[in-house]
């Protein structure tokens, strides 16, 4: 279904195609914390985090704090988070960077049916239920979905 505007009220770029979203979700998830970064707007947020980026803070909710046991810096962790301001209805996108119309699943765009992002970051410190990391690329106040250690092949 193509249209000039979608339910989000955002206009489509040339050749982009949006789809009507389902009436409700198929599953639920628990946000386990909140991410704090220097970026307050999508325009200010980097497209990809870098190891020399600013130190950001991940605050894990108290009920999940014990799950951090054994997570010790220095190491790398995978952070999964919910991009709450991203559109969810585009099938085809035309990124301004390339101008080439491409399917959503062939892009790393935050615009996806389930706006889940994943970043590999450097864990600098664990202070109770608060993690200090470097390498994120999300808005301040982003909801945390999960944290996983980065393991080398064969480490388990």
The pLDDT tens digits of the residues spanning 66-81 come to 999 999 999 999 999 9
Give the tens place of pLDDT for each residue, 103-124.
999 998 889 999 999 999 999 9
Q: How far apart are the first and last CA of the chain?
A: 44
Whether 84 has a pLDDT exceeding 80, the answer reads yes
Q: Is there a domain that residue 46 lies in? A: yes
Q: Do the Cβ atoms of 126 and 71 come closer than 8 Å? A: yes
How many domains are contained in the chain?
A: 1
In a domain, 9, yes or no: no
CATH of residue 141: 2.40.30.70
Structure tokens at 83: 């991009």
Give pLDDT, residue 9.
66
Does the residue 97 lie in any domain?
A: no
Q: How far is CA 90 from CA 46, 106, 110, 116, 118, in A?
A: 21, 12, 11, 15, 20
Is there a domain that residue 99 lies in?
A: no
Rounded mean pLDDT of 56-65? Answer: 97
Q: Is residue 14 part of a domain?
A: no
Residue 45 lies in a domain: yes
Judge if pTM exceeds 0.75: yes
Residue 52 sits in which domain range? 30-86+115-149
Q: Which residues pair with 136 in a beta bridge?
A: none
Burial class (CB in 10 A: 0-12, 13-18, 19+), 50: exposed
Let me know if residue 1 belongs to a domain.
no
In a domain, 12, yes or no: no
What gap in Å lies between CA 109 and CA 87, rounded to an integer?
A: 10
**pLDDT mean over 136-148:** 96
Higher-scoring residue by pLDDT: 3, 38: 38
């Amino acid at each position: 279904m193509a249209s000039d505007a979608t339910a989000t009220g955002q206009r489509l770029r040339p050749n982009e195609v949006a789809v009507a979203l389902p009436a409700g979700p198929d599953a639920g998830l628990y946000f386990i914390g909140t991410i704090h970064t220097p970026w307050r707007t999508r325009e200010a947020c980097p497209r990809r985090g870098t190891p020399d980026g600013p130190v950001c803070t991940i605050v894990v909710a108290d009920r999940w704090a014990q799950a951090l046991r054994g997570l010790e810096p220095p190491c790398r962790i995978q952070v999964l988070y919910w991009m709450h301001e991203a559109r969810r209805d585009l099938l085809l996108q035309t990124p301004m960077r390339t101008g080439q119309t491409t399917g959503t699943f062939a892009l790393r765009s935050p615009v996806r049916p389930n706006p889940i992002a994943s970043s590999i970051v450097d864990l600098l410190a664990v202070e109770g239920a608060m993690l200090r990391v470097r390498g994120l690329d999300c808005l301040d106040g982003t909801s945390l979905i999960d944290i996983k250690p980065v393991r080398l092949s064969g480490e388990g």
